[in-house]
Structure 1
Amino acid sequence: MCEEKGNKHWSRRSFIKTSGLSLFTTTLGGVPSFVAQAAASILEPASFQRKKVLVCIFQRGAMDGISAVQPIDNAFLKKHRPNLVFSATGNASKKLLDLNGAFGLHPELAPLAPYYKNGTLAILHGVGSPVANRSHFDAQDFMESGTPGIKGTQSGWLNRAMGAMGHEATPFKAVSFTPTSPRSFYGENAHIVVQDLSDLSFSAEELQELQKLKELYQKESMAELANAGIYNIEAAEMMASLDILNQPINPNSAYPMSPLGSGLKQTAKLIKANAGLEIAFVESNGWDTHSRQNVDYGGFTLRARDLAQSISAFWEDLGTLQDDVVVMTMTEFGRTVMENGSFGTDHGRASCSFILGNGINGGKIYGSFPELAFENLEDNRDLPVTTDFRSYFATVASKHLNIKDKSSLFPGWDGELLELFR
């Protein structure tokens, strides 16, 4: 959002008077087919059924999967990661949380451990792109477009998923809680990009003015602009009709004061309000841990703490609605197996992902993790990619969103799905 917090009233008035779209950072690649139908849902919010919701968390910067889910008492790591390795015994705040006798969870990820233990959280190790690329920009682009190695893809895999669902929806079908539209959302299917839902909140008087503006948009000769304006206004109307901002928060849910915590808290509000949310996208930044990775205030320590606390707060906040929701994490690549001279790690290949949901066949670590020896590493330095990220993404889309046509999401790919769901 481009407005300043202290200037919200001015921005709203400016929007009404100038017909500007800056208040709503909505990205449309085409004309939404469901604008007219959405109006009926706004007037009768109970008229549509609750949908399954996919919550995607992109860990930008490349998370060190070896630190997140670490082999226990591994001699190779003790030798080549002396400042990053943890033990499964010793100081409680510095020891791995034993998952299965072979792997342990980083201590800052402790809030996720109960979900692994109760079988709702699964871990996928060795996941990444089949195309080797250690550029953050390129690797993120390939992962979000769903076409590794192909730079010319115009749409993102989540936008294609929006279209493949094949049913009418509300303006809140797909929402990204980010400053700008993520590459995953690029494409012809309409979605909303907003950092704070309060920016879509208007008084009754302002909503009347917006209704007049909608009538003007309906006369607009530029169809894309007209539909974008109508789409945004209908989102504002729905915000008011469902009282989304005032949805209660579970008192046991302590969301961190971070962009990730805020995005997940607002995602929970949309789910609880039955606003028609089906895909939510949030980001966790700062995983590029080249130095001082595991010190008390190092990059990995802070990011892991925020990730685990945010996911746990969100999951507890959902309460009985957990059955409708799956949370999946992704990151562009992993880190080197050996630490560098700055007590950090450099760009690598495979990492790990977390997937949480009551339908997940959890309490397991999926994927392949080789015996750590130089001859088993890619280029003698990196964990090899043993699971194509498209297998992971396609499994979630198929089992949770009921999108069976893999080729519609990942052109030219016909790989196998994973056994992540019950």
Structure 2
Amino acid sequence: MTSRRGFLKQGGIALFGVGLMGGIPAFLAEAAASGNKIINPFQRRKIMVTIFQRGAMDGLMAVTPFTDENLKKARPTLFMTAAQGGKTKPLIDLDGRFGLHPSMAAFEPLFREKRLGIVHGIGSPNNTRSHFDAQDYMEAGTPFNKGTASGWLNRAVGLLGHEAATPFQAVSLTSSMPRSFYGDNPSVSISNLQDFDIQMGGNKNAANMAAKSFEDLYGQATSSLLKETGKESFDAVKMLQKNDVRNYRPAAGVAYPNTALGNSLKQIAQLIKMDVGLEIAFAESGGWDTHFNQGTENGPFARNVADLSNSIVAFWSDISQYQDDVTLMTMTEFGRTVAQNGTGGTDHGRASCNFILGNDVNGGLVHGDMKPLIKENLEDGRDLAVTTDFRAVFSEVADKHLKINNDKKLFPDWKGEKIGVMKA
């Protein structure tokens, strides 16, 4: 007999976009309407939100060690200072050494409130400068093993200590399933809640099952199994339907950027506020590969960091009543070269920085070990050295916030130390 967990993993409650242009199929709506009231059977749990910045963010421009004269010499037209009265808008002085890019001003209050932490010098121990390989290693969580079948977030789902009550335990707001969610544990990717275009993950036969109709999927299950899993799932479907996702209104005063990331975080906020059992969420931001005309206070980099910070702050304000339950973390595959190139940009480097936001974060600090940017301290004589393995931060956030205390399974090849980015 198929187990409840097995049914979930086989996609019995996965929701596909095929044939859903007119909304939820009638047979699902009828099954969901078995009672007169919407019952929320999902225990409120902690939620971890992750954002992948694809393309490799220049951490030295996002959070600049502005007192380092070596960086100033290496970037004659890209260097920014915290001093007032210069040619460009000044950096936001965080601690006398590091300055936040002025387009990220939305982050400053959260940093001062000690809810936003920054890790500098973070990256992968694998020194590849290939976007594809570096992203793959980071999302798999095994930087020296290309053969890892699962992603680290999928393994995190399996280590939560309880089965999924709904299809919405692990959700990626992307058009396709990210590498982070590959694996045997159930997860879904949702390109847009309004279109209800959902793809199923955590299933080796997902491609074949995607072609099947809902009736076919449920036809494979026994009636007893449906009784066990169906009500919780249909309750979640009914919640999406009843909450009128097409006309969602954020909290008063909250305005999300009209961007891909802003829209993704708005939909994650919807799922959180609807209490549909979300525990791990994923979103992504592109355009960080700044090889030319990177700009300083204006330009593509400034636009990207403005979108990142403004989207995150809008999300954080929108979920004000849930902030104790949510921690958000960013990641990027690697950083950029210390020196600018001949086209006003930066090339593929090594270490970058990331941002962690939450009430359980050891915030108001720039964590990590960044040495002066003299040549002998640079990796390969050109790059900011990786002094913090990304797994040290990812595991600490997951351990402290989600109470996952099995680093051996979460990151099989890692035996390092955590750095104190989360409160004890």
TM-score interval for Structure 1 and Structure 2 normalised by the shorter chain: 0.7 to 0.9
1:193-232 map, 5 Å: 193-200=189-196, 214=214, 216-220=216-220
Deviations along 1:18-63, one digit per CA (max 9) or x if unpaired, are x9xxxxxxxxxxxxxxxxxx99999764332211111101000000
1:311-350 map, 5 Å: 311-350=312-351
Deviation >4 Å, runs of 4+: 8-11, 13-17, 38-44, 213-216, 229-235, 241-247
Deviations along 1:112-153, one digit per CA (max 9) or x if unpaired, are 011111100000001000111000000000000000021111
C-alpha distance in structure 2 between counterparts of 1:46 and 1:248, whole Å:
21
Of the three residues 97, 104, 114, the one matched with 1:109 is 104
C-alpha distance in structure 1 between counterparts of 2:216 and 2:285, whole Å:
39
% identical equivalent positions: 51
Distance 1:40 1:94, change over 3 A: farther
1:219 positional shift: 2.2
C-alpha distance in structure 2 between counterparts of 1:140 and 1:39, whole Å:
43
Q: Is the 8 A contact 1:42 1:241 kept in 2?
A: no
C-alpha distance in structure 2 between counterparts of 1:40 and 1:287, whole Å:
48
C-alpha distance in structure 2 between counterparts of 1:352 and 1:148, whole Å:
18
1:12 positional shift: 2.5
SS at match of 1:192: strand
Distance 1:68 1:188, change over 3 A: same
1:89 positional shift: 2.0
| Structure with higher helix content | 1
Q: Is the 8 A contact 2:102 2:297 kept in 1?
A: no
Does 2:179 correspond to 1:178? no
1:166 positional shift: 2.0
Q: Is the 8 A contact 2:156 2:410 kept in 1?
A: yes
Deviates more, 1:407-416 or 1:88-97: 88-97
State the match for 1:130 in structure 2.
Answer: 125
C-alpha distance in structure 2 between counterparts of 1:239 and 1:338, whole Å:
49
C-alpha distance in structure 2 between counterparts of 1:303 and 1:363, whole Å:
22
SS at match of 1:199: coil
What TM-score do the two structures reach when normalised by structure 1? 0.83
Distance 1:11 1:217, change over 3 A: closer
1:360 positional shift: 0.8
State the match for 1:68 in structure 2.
Answer: 62
State the match for 2:292 in structure 1.
Answer: 291
Deviates more, 1:409-418 or 1:265-274: 409-418
C-alpha distance in structure 2 between counterparts of 1:39 and 1:349, whole Å:
54
Q: Is the 8 A contact 2:393 2:418 kept in 1?
A: yes
Q: Is the 8 A contact 1:96 1:104 kept in 2?
A: yes
SS at match of 1:294: coil
Deviations along 1:235-292, one digit per CA (max 9) or x if unpaired, are 5334125555555412321211111000000111111111111111000100000011
SS at match of 2:348: coil
State the match for 1:167 in structure 2.
Answer: 162
State the match for 2:383 in structure 1.
Answer: 382
C-alpha distance in structure 1 between counterparts of 2:342 and 2:175, whole Å:
34
C-alpha distance in structure 2 between counterparts of 1:378 and 1:214, whole Å:
53
1:341 positional shift: 0.3
C-alpha distance in structure 2 between counterparts of 1:185 and 1:283, whole Å:
13
C-alpha distance in structure 1 between counterparts of 2:186 and 2:95, whole Å:
43
Q: Is the 8 A contact 1:42 1:234 kept in 2?
A: no
1:218 positional shift: 2.5
Aligned residue-pair number = 381
Q: Is the 8 A contact 1:200 1:236 kept in 2?
A: no
State the match for 1:282 in structure 2.
Answer: 283
Deviations along 1:181-213, one digit per CA (max 9) or x if unpaired, are 000010111111112111229xxxxxxxxxxx7
Distance 1:39 1:403, change over 3 A: farther
SS at match of 2:281: strand
SS at match of 1:274: coil
Distance 1:125 1:235, change over 3 A: same
1:299 positional shift: 2.1
State the match for 2:72 in structure 1.
Answer: 78
C-alpha distance in structure 2 between counterparts of 1:40 and 1:390, whole Å:
46
SS at match of 2:194: helix
State the match for 1:420 in structure 2.
Answer: 421
Of the three residues 39, 49, 56, the one matched with 2:43 is 49
Q: Is the 8 A contact 2:194 2:245 kept in 1?
A: no
C-alpha distance in structure 2 between counterparts of 1:271 and 1:418, whole Å:
29
Give structure 2 stretches of 5+ with no counterpart.
Answer: 1-16, 198-212
Of the three residues 11, 16, 21, the one matched with 1:12 is 21
SS at match of 1:327: strand
C-alpha distance in structure 1 between counterparts of 2:196 and 2:421, whole Å:
37
C-alpha distance in structure 2 between counterparts of 1:40 and 1:173, whole Å:
23
